[in-house]
Chain A
Amino acid sequence: MTMAEAKKGQICAIRKIRGEARFLSRITAIGLTPGCPVEILRSDKRQPILLYSRDTMIALSRREGEKIMLEAVK
């Protein structure tokens, strides 16, 4: 499942991040790295995704969200 597909309220871990070096640098700099747990706070159509990770509320555009693969955590 990509982050863009994840539903509001889901708690997941990041499995994989795809994309070019620039995007990878930016996304990791804000704290999102493989293995890192995230909670989806909001995911509305035509709106950025709102998530919570590493004690921080982070907004991420939908297109970038498609590059992040999530897996559910037990």
Chain B
Amino acid sequence: MSCEYCDDAKFNKTGSGRAKTNARVIALLGQPNSGKSTLFNTLTGGHQHVGNWPGKTVEKKEGEFQHKGKRYIAADLPGSYSLSAGSEEEIVTRDYIAGGEADVVCILADASQLERSLYMLADFAPLNVPAILLLNMMDVAKDKGITVDAKLLEERLGIPALPFVASNPKDYGAFYAAIENAGRMIKTPPALPDTAEKSDVLASADIKFKWIENLLDGAVKKTQESAAAFSRFDRIATSRVMGKFLAIGIGIAGLIAAMIPLFAIGGAATLAPSLLGPPAAAFLLGVGFSPFLTSLIVGSVLNTFVFAIEMAAFVFGITFVFSFLEDIGYMARASFVFDSVMSKLGLQGKAIMPFFVSLGCTIGGAAGTRIIDTWGQRTLAMALMWAVPCAAILSVVPVLANIFFGSGTLFIMLGIFAVMVVHMMITAKVFGRSLVPEEGRTGMIMELPPYHKPKWGLLFKTMLLRSTDIFLRAYKVVFIITIVFFCLTWTADGNVENSIIYKVGRFIDPVSRFFGLGWQLFMAFIAAAFAKEAVLGVLSALYLGSGNIFETAVSKSTETAENFGAVLAEAISKPEALAFLFAMSFTVPCVNAMASTYLENRSMKWTLRIAGYYMVTALFLSLVVFRVSSLFF
């Protein structure tokens, strides 16, 4: 099996090639909120391979685990409430099961609402594959006064039916025993008509629910009548106005909370270059390295290390907070109140949350898209998110704008947000068609799960594994780009005019002028792709010849020479400055954010496609702003 998107060589081996290995394949099947991901994460821990199904915008998650010396592969199958609605996810899942890829299918149902959550089992039953049923969340069911006779269900179904709590390690013994011995199929699946034609959908649903009813008859007892559990908190969380404010408040609070590990770990890491840099450089020069290599090693290795640490710390914070909100059940409420806004962009309502985060930092925003249910929507959300000005843009743009436009800065900031909205609408059209196909866009049909207690231990463990993974991969990606940037800006004597970037810049000056950017501004535009904060330092270096471009860029220095403002105001015309402000705001985000996007969508093709689109549209925007504002200034 070829895997277009994944970069993990190990992953491919677990494809059809595994037929040759002796691992037993357990496929996990369950509706949203059935606890499927808890089970998957508990079983496989850090041994997960995430990619896409070949040629599909559907995520493939597999993991390995061992029990009593035997190897198992757990496949977390995509799909939402059924196997018969014909979405891409459901087709993938159905083909996988029907194709005999799995040795055992493990179906999860929420014991506290069995009637509804057994629908997946009813849909699966006619496929005739060995299966076991996990009656998950028995603890919640008990709290609600519901008793489930698992023995009776087992007898009626003909397959093992286990009372289960996915977050309780004690329940796994029985689970392992069940998958070891599994082999039986469901005795009497619902008798469905052969063709599920349009007119038959309601009829076959009726048959399935009747089947479930008969199955549960006498096996499930409710000691108390369950009333609509519409709590006071939910009344606020789902209210049209208050609910939105609550979601925004929680989103921003989440952003702040996520900063804590960044400041704690990232803060310590930023000291590394200044503490370790000089002694390391002295050492390398001492053992005979050339100045070029020394400055390359010290500059890029240490700075990349800091970048990667900061990124991992921030990603840890964001994913922890967001997974927590998803885990306790709140995210579905945010989805509810923002559905009408976000569905216009082709996204589900809860996608609004990572957008708030990207006002702080695009890296966190990209990491936060993990709460979005499908790969296509996730990638689309990241593509739109790049247009949201991050904190670095929001701090650099006013400084520059103030030099040229004084009090007009406010209008420029408003203009940037206006362009952001239009940009997102256009970008949603451009990429939406292939990432979130029209036929996949049905209106919201979603369960709002009851609130759960968070599973702290598992949450912490999963996030820690994930940030370690992010750190290692980010280090690789950012390292390569840092080296390229270093080579472009390196000069033996510290004179900017001897660097490759200067020579290229002078050469393309006529071209960049067409877009309204002199070559220095164009270089700053390129540097903005490295770090937005670098723009000031790079401009200072290019116009005043002070400092080193590479160092100002990698250390995100915002230091400028004293007469910076005066020189810039003299050298750059107002239309040029305005064009640049928009170009730098809407070009690709920084390298780290691009790396973060790539780590989340695992598709080099899509990441580059989006990056190319942003570069081109930013230059086009620059051209338009330059030409139009030339008429006024």
- Chain A positions within 8 Å of B, measured between CB atoms, are 17, 20-31, 33-34, 39, 41-42, 44-48, 50, 52, 54-64
Q: Mark B414-453, 1 if CB is under 8 A from A, else 0.
A: 0000000000000000000000000100111111111000
Whether, in the assembled complex, B209 has its beta carbon less than 8 Å from a beta carbon of chain A, the answer is: yes
Are A48 and B228 within 8 A (Cβ)?
no
A selection of 16 A-B contacts at a CB cut-off of 8 Å is A21-B86, A21-B198, A22-B85, A26-B445, A29-B82, A31-B115, A31-B119, A34-B202, A34-B206, A46-B340, A47-B339, A48-B336, A50-B336, A52-B229, A57-B230, A62-B443
Closest to B199 in A: A21
Collect the chain A residues with CB atoms within 8 Å of residue B113's CB.
54-56
Q: How far is the CB of A37 from chain B (nearest CB, A)?
A: 11
Closest to A64 in B: B443
- Chain B positions within 8 Å of A, measured between CB atoms, are 80-82, 84-86, 112-113, 115-116, 119, 123, 196-198, 201-202, 205-206, 209, 226, 228-230, 234, 238-240, 332, 335-337, 339-340, 343, 439, 442-450
Bound CA–CA A39/B228 (angstroms): 8
Q: A17-B202, A33-B202, A59-B448 are in contact. Are A50 and B238 (CB under 8 A)?
A: yes
Bound CA–CA A27/B447 (angstroms): 11
Are B209 and A47 within 8 A (Cβ)?
no
Bound CA–CA A61/B447 (angstroms): 12
Q: How far is the CB of B3 from chain A (nearest CB, A)?
A: 28
Are B240 and A55 within 8 A (Cβ)?
no
Q: A47-B240, A54-B115, A58-B446 are in contact. Are A25 and B85 (CB under 8 A)?
A: yes
Bound CA–CA A56/B229 (angstroms): 9
Collect the chain B residues with CB atoms within 8 Å of residue A45's CB.
240
Are B116 and A56 within 8 A (Cβ)?
yes
Bound CA–CA A62/B443 (angstroms): 8
Q: How far is the CB of A41 from chain B (nearest CB, A)?
A: 5
18 further A-B contacts with Cβ under 8 Å, apart from A29-B123, A34-B206, A47-B339, are: A21-B201, A23-B442, A25-B84, A25-B201, A26-B85, A29-B80, A41-B228, A42-B239, A45-B240, A46-B340, A47-B240, A47-B336, A48-B339, A57-B234, A59-B335, A59-B444, A59-B445, A64-B442
Are B84 and A29 within 8 A (Cβ)?
yes
Collect the chain A residues with CB atoms within 8 Å of residue B337's CB.
47
Are A48 and B444 within 8 A (Cβ)?
yes
A-B interface contact total, Cβ < 8 Å = 127
Closest to A61 in B: B443
Q: How far is the CB of B439 from chain A (nearest CB, A)?
A: 8
Tell me which of B201, B228, B339 contacts A52 (CB under 8 A): B228
Q: How far is the CB of A32 from chain B (nearest CB, A)?
A: 8
Q: A24-B202, A60-B443 are in contact. Are A48 and B85 (CB under 8 A)?
A: no
Closest to A60 in B: B445
Bound CA–CA A39/B227 (angstroms): 10
Are A26 and B442 within 8 A (Cβ)?
yes
Bound CA–CA A12/B407 (angstroms): 59
Tell me which of B240, B442, B446 contacts A44 (CB under 8 A): B240
Q: How far is the CB of B142 from chain A (nearest CB, A)?
A: 15
> What 5 pairs between A and B have smallest CB-CB spacing?
A61-B443, A28-B205, A29-B82, A29-B81, A25-B85
Which residue, of B86, B116, B123, has the highest number of chain A Cβ atoms within 10 A? B116
Which residue, of A20, A48, A64, has the highest number of chain B Cβ atoms within 10 A? A48
Which residue, of A24, A27, A56, A61, has the highest number of chain B Cβ atoms within 10 A? A56
Bound CA–CA A37/B395 (angstroms): 55
Closest to B80 in A: A29
Tell me which of A30, A33, A44, A47 contacts B445 (CB under 8 A): A30
Are A20 and B198 within 8 A (Cβ)?
yes
Are B115 and A22 within 8 A (Cβ)?
no
Closest to A34 in B: B202
Are B339 and A59 within 8 A (Cβ)?
yes
Collect the chain B residues with CB atoms within 8 Å of residue A48's CB.
336, 339-340, 443-444
Bound CA–CA A31/B340 (angstroms): 23
Bound CA–CA A26/B202 (angstroms): 11
Q: A24-B201, A28-B205 are in contact. Are A56 and B447 (CB under 8 A)?
A: yes
Tell me which of A25, A39, A57, A61 contacts B86 (CB under 8 A): A25
Bound CA–CA A29/B340 (angstroms): 23
Collect the chain A residues with CB atoms within 8 Å of residue B198's CB.
20-21, 24
Closest to B234 in A: A57
Are A30 and B86 within 8 A (Cβ)?
no
Collect the chain A residues with CB atoms within 8 Å of residue B339's CB.
47-48, 59, 61
Are A42 and B238 within 8 A (Cβ)?
yes
Bound CA–CA A17/B449 (angstroms): 24
Collect the chain A residues with CB atoms within 8 Å of residue B206's CB.
33-34
Q: A54-B115, A58-B446, A63-B443 are in contact. Are A47 and B205 (CB under 8 A)?
A: no
Closest to B85 in A: A25
Closest to A20 in B: B198
Closest to B197 in A: A21
Collect the chain B residues with CB atoms within 8 Å of residue A17's CB.
202
Q: How far is the CB of A74 from chain B (nearest CB, A)?
A: 18
Collect the chain A residues with CB atoms within 8 Å of residue B447's CB.
30, 56-59
Q: How far is the CB of B110 from chain A (nearest CB, A)?
A: 9
Are B240 and A57 within 8 A (Cβ)?
no
Q: A33-B202, A57-B447 are in contact. Are A47 and B340 (CB under 8 A)?
A: yes
Q: How far is the CB of B452 from chain A (nearest CB, A)?
A: 14
Collect the chain A residues with CB atoms within 8 Å of residue B234's CB.
57
Q: How far is the CB of A50 from chain B (nearest CB, A)?
A: 6
Collect the chain A residues with CB atoms within 8 Å of residue B446's CB.
30, 58-59
Which residue, of A21, A25, A39, has the highest number of chain B Cβ atoms within 10 A? A25
Bound CA–CA A30/B449 (angstroms): 12
Collect the chain A residues with CB atoms within 8 Å of residue B240's CB.
44-47
Tell me which of A20, A28, A52 contacts B230 (CB under 8 A): A52
Collect the chain A residues with CB atoms within 8 Å of residue B335's CB.
59
Closest to A28 in B: B205
Collect the chain B residues with CB atoms within 8 Å of residue A28's CB.
82, 201-202, 205
Bound CA–CA A64/B115 (angstroms): 23
Bound CA–CA A60/B84 (angstroms): 19
Bound CA–CA A42/B237 (angstroms): 12
Closest to B329 in A: A57
Collect the chain A residues with CB atoms within 8 Å of residue B115's CB.
31, 54-55
